[in-house]
Structure 1
Amino acid sequence: MRVRVKVLSPVHVGNGEKISRLEFLVEKGRLKVYKFDRIISTIERIANPQLKNNAYLWFKTSKNLSLEEFLRNFKLTLEPTYELEINGSLNSSQVEEFIKTLEGPYIPGSELKGSIRHLIACAWFMDKPNYVIEKVDELLRLLQTLKNRKSEYQRIQGDAEKYLESLVFYQKGERDAQFDVLKVLSIPDSQPLPYQSLRVEVPKLVGSNRTLLPCEALKEGVEFEMEININKNAYRGLETQRKLPEIGKHFSDENAFWNFLVECSRKFYSKLLDEEIKFFQNRQPNTEEHLKRLKNYLNTGGVLLRLGKHEGILSTTLLLIVKEKDKALFDKFFRETQNGATEQTNKTRRVNSQGLTFGWLLLERL
């Protein structure tokens, strides 16, 4: 099944790399990126052997590397690999890079699948609040027994959200990864997108003075297509072995799956957006209006989805149900499972210069 993906707010999907000050210049509100191999090629073209040696030496010994200073000192000209508009005031020495191939940025199928997985889990839990609370309470009691066994404690702590999700995607009592119902779902990577699809965002952390690194992000308004496929052989295999979980019936074909996904999106994001609107009320009017506009997409027949970095953590996603039903239990679980959490649970959100929250997409079936 082919879907159109519409970007509704900035989306950052990182590759784990940061562009350093040695690889970019900021000129007239634009980020000019110069890949390291291109800089080395420019040094290699220096005709004077002594000057070439000095250039390499400068790289090796300079304590405050700056591309601007380097090009000026050695009177070199260099064309950027690419350049992007900057949205905000960039004062950082690093920029988080968007994932790319040699041809350009793209959305990995695994990233989209991960967001779909998370959405389905959240929607499923909404129908079973007492069951969720029971399982969260069990996990907390287990963590308490492991306080003196650091490695085991850290493993359970780190896998808490994965464990809760596994209750949705496996038949009861099953944990073998080959029987995960999402094995039935196949999502290839998107085609590479033009660099013009990106801009540099300078996120602001509402509710904190802490600064965040700027990041390359897809711009709102960008559109592209992707495939979402159901492997019927894999489905029949799970069915034959009686390994289908409760939600398995929705994976029998593409029509059933799409309708299920639309239902999950309406159910969960309606609640999530209400929570977010409440957070930004009287705090940031632009963001409140932006979130209300997003809520309108829930009635279009498409799938509203949140993707990538800055999309929120436990307090506004999987455990929204626990937070609503048993605030004390949620606070306790949050502190146990989030490294570095303070006594107060998460009261911050990330927005761009215009007050848009990150990561929102709309999927439309073609």
Structure 2
Amino acid sequence: MKYRIKALTPVHIHSGEVLRSMEYMVKDGEVLIFDEMDVIRSIKEKELLNAELLDSYSLTSKRSDYHRNLDYYIKKGIIDSSIVNRYKVKAINKAENLNGKEIYRTMRNIQGTYIPGSSIKGVIRTAILYDYLLKKGIDYIKEAVNYLKNNQRLKLYIDDYIIYFTNTKNNNRKKNIQADPFKFLIVRDVNMTENEVVIYDETIFDVNKFITGNTIEAIKEGDYTEDFEFEIVSDKDKLNTLNKIIGYNTDLDKYLDEKKILEALYQFSSDIIDDEIEYFKQQENRLFNSKEVIKKLEEIKKKNSIDSPVIRIGKGKGYKANTVALAIKKLDRNYYNKEIKNIAKPYQYRERYEFPKTRNFVGNRVSPKLLGFTILEKVD
């Protein structure tokens, strides 16, 4: 069966690339993005040692008043204006003020924007492990949490406990990634078809305050990927051989099936959406239009189905962000309220990003948009 992924809200999967202010300019409501080498080649010869220009390249401070956009240097005659017609990407500008700001770019290759197969596979893996936790129940989760607490120096996560230390003879307290049955599931990178991107300011909503996030490049809502397939390269013989050689949790074998994958994705997304709606219904911040967010979430919920499940993709949307906590909350809310900070607390803990108080959004507070909601559609 072939599928495609459609963006229901803006999608940002950070590529690791950060666009400097010298590499773009704003013109007629659009952001024109240039290749860095083209910018350097367009510097007029007599301006190569211009102090202001050199400072812009050498300063590492993120303060926008230390940096200037490309059009500033064009107007000052430092960079040749002919570069304007050599932009590589044109983006819709929804950011309030881009003067001197860095832009965190989304994933792209030579053909344009794309969703990595690893991101899609990561969500599938997340959904399967979430389903497994629900079926095993709260006592199993408590056992896992206690195991992780007692072995903190090993820096294990609950997914490690499920895969490597459940139903196995693993007594050496080490995980062997060769025993991960998800290696038999292959999902390739998929390119977006429209290749339209939007520049947004990201904000972290922290219940009673707003924290400025990054300025990001996002895949436009409504864009969709090329057709693709899930490739499952396992069979009983391969799984039996793997278990004999290494040993892993064979309960996970049943999930290596396309129908089971869709069911797990549907259930996981259904619970995520319900949890998001509950969160925003409890908010009473008059400076934030939570009704707009709730309306969009309810629209997304109606679209979610077993045949066409919603998938949330992107930064902070994956397994370690909310899966375990969501399962605990559903199974035992009292235990959740008592233990959540200990369970969700990362090794490098920063209070202002404490789980689960915060939510990221883009756009302004009157018309906010959540990130990363997509839907998996079957292709005839």
TM-score (norm 2): 0.80
2:62 alignment partner in structure 1: none
Q: How many residues align?
A: 340
- RMSD across aligned positions (CA): 2.7
1:265 alignment partner in structure 2: 265
Amino acid at match of 1:40: I
Partner of residue 53 from structure 1, selected from 23, 48, 54? 48
User: Contact 1:12–1:309 (CA<8 Å) still a contact in 2?
Assistant: yes
Q: 1:192 to 1:343 in 2, by over 3 A?
A: closer
The CA distance in 2 between the partners of 1:13 and 1:164, in whole Å, is 27
Q: 1:228 to 1:292 in 2, by over 3 A?
A: same
Q: Write out the 4+ residue segments of structure 1 that deviate beyond 6 Å after TM superposition.
A: none
Q: 1:86 to 1:317 in 2, by over 3 A?
A: farther
Secondary structure of the structure 2 residue equivalent to 1:358: coil
Question: Counterparts of 1:216-255 in structure 2 under 5 Å?
Answer: 216-224=217-225, 225-232=227-234, 236-242=237-243, 243=247, 245-251=250-256
Secondary structure of the structure 2 residue equivalent to 1:329: helix
Q: Tell me by how many angstroms 1:36 deviates.
A: 0.7
1:202 alignment partner in structure 2: 201
Q: Tell me by how many angstroms 1:184 deviates.
A: 0.9
Partner of residue 71 from structure 1, selected from 65, 74, 77? 74
1:285 aligns with 2:291: yes
1:135-175 CA-partner distances (Å, limit 9, x unpaired): 112222333xxxxxxxx4xx61xx4355345359x863453
User: Contact 2:113–2:195 (CA<8 Å) still a contact in 1?
Assistant: yes
The CA distance in 1 between the partners of 2:326 and 2:104, in whole Å, is 29
Q: 1:343 to 1:221 in 2, by over 3 A?
A: closer
1:363 alignment partner in structure 2: 376
Secondary structure of the structure 2 residue equivalent to 1:140: helix
Question: Counterparts of 1:95-174 in structure 2 under 5 Å?
Answer: 95-128=103-136, 129-143=138-152, 152=153, 156=155, 159-164=156-161, 166=163, 172-173=168-169
Secondary structure of the structure 2 residue equivalent to 1:9: coil
Amino acid at match of 2:75: R
Q: 1:306 to 1:282 in 2, by over 3 A?
A: same
Q: Tell me by how many angstroms 1:286 deviates.
A: 0.8
TM-score (norm 1): 0.83
The CA distance in 2 between the partners of 1:3 and 1:194, in whole Å, is 17
Partner of residue 325 from structure 2, selected from 271, 294, 319? 319
Amino acid at match of 1:83: K
Amino acid at match of 1:29: G
The CA distance in 1 between the partners of 2:52 and 2:133, in whole Å, is 57
1:147 alignment partner in structure 2: none
1:23-66 CA-partner distances (Å, limit 9, x unpaired): 111233321112211112223xx4xx5x15345x6532456342
2:63 alignment partner in structure 1: none
Q: 1:163 to 1:270 in 2, by over 3 A?
A: same
The CA distance in 1 between the partners of 2:178 and 2:346, in whole Å, is 30
Which sections of structure 1, spanning at least 5 residues, go unmatched? Answer: 144-151, 252-256
Q: Tell me by how many angstroms 1:241 deviates.
A: 4.3
Q: Tell me by how many angstroms 1:120 deviates.
A: 1.1
The CA distance in 1 between the partners of 2:354 and 2:90, in whole Å, is 41
2:30 alignment partner in structure 1: 30
Report percent identity of matched pairs.
21
Secondary structure of the structure 1 residue equivalent to 2:199: strand
Secondary structure of the structure 2 residue equivalent to 1:182: helix
Partner of residue 339 from structure 1, selected from 340, 344, 349? 349
Which sections of structure 2, spanning at least 5 residues, go unmatched? Answer: 60-65, 284-289
